[in-house]
Amino acid sequence: MTRLDHRIFDLGGQSLHAVITGAGPPVVFCHGFPGLWYSWRKQLPVVAAAGFRAIAVDQRGYGRSDRPVEPALYDANFVMQDMLRLLDALGIERAVFVGHDFGAQQVCNLAVRHADRVAGVVIMSCPYDFDLAGRGGRGRDKCETGEGSFATGLRPSEAFAAVARQHFFHMHYFQAIGPAERELGAAPREFLQRLFWALSSKGELARYKDFPSEGTGYLDVLPPAPPLPWPWMSEADMDFYAEEFSRGGPDTAFIGGLNSYRVADRNWELGEPWADAHIEVPALFIAGADDIVLQMVGPAAIDSMRARIPDLRDVVLVPEAGHFVQMEQADATNAALTGFLRGLSAR
């Protein structure tokens, strides 16, 4: 069995929990929402066995890391600094970063704004340089962040509100402090199980368009999930997720994800100087072929990403996988990931 070393790092006032295994060139895994270090449980032993030092974090606001309440403390600068300070604490000059969902935004920003610390990036599920309106050209990763807008000239929060006038929209619902904390914090396991299933290759998330914003919560639009186990998720896995998210109590159970949505306008402003930036380090893109994010942005997102990442080594769309491709189809994900890593170390 692969030995996992759990460590807590004090990164200048922010405590960060990380899990480390293996030895060799460092690979840092950055999860999204809802995620934990545990979201990479099927990658860590494989990457370590391939000759790398695998490092998976609980991002700020998640799991056993500190959970600041103030939304401003989750902007792009803060979450990038967490990773840079983690490298410093471990005595690492450069690492390959692997990011999924919000973590994809994070590693893309690192590759553009701190390229000297990045040996390569693996972008998962959320294409670089594309917004949900189907327009490229901002030079920033937009997955679930609102960097860019749904209509020209709108700030992200304004764009979310415009969509919410037509039907329920979770990005708008999450902007207000309180309602989502109360709703989701009261039923963490139910929320996690419903969302993981809805975003899977066999799930369905389109119901939200049938609900008005007024009086609707997120659980209202998420269909009930089938009983566990699923092929890629056990009862024990779900128990672990529910326990870890509940550590801080109901008010902060999902604070990391919720506050990441609330800094969309701030991230939009912070990213403006890099609006036309390319990712110059070697990169790999992996996504589930059935990921709803790809369905929303359309095939032009891949073309835009190819244009903005000159050294994009491959685009891997994994069959029978939805948003959480690294869990739903771990073998295919691991094959693509280790192939990319070996290619970097061979240079």
Active site residues: 101, 323
Residue 206, Cβ density class (10 Å: 0-12 exposed, 13-18 middle, ≥19 buried): exposed
Q: What is the DSSP string of 65-100?
A: S-----GGGGSHHHHHHHHHHHHHHTT-S-EEEEEE
Tally DSSP H helices, then E strands, for the chain: 15, 8
Both tokens of residue 118? 């990045």
Q: Report the C-alpha gap between 230 and 212 in whole angstroms.
A: 31
Distant-in-sequence, close-in-space partners of 294: CB < 8 Å, separation ≥ 6: 125, 127, 287, 288, 301, 317
Are 54 and 44 spatial neighbours (Cβ–Cβ below 8 Å)?
yes
Strand order, beta sheet including 95-100: 5-10, 15-21, 53-58, 26-30, 95-100, 118-124, 283-288, 312-318
Amino acid at 192: L
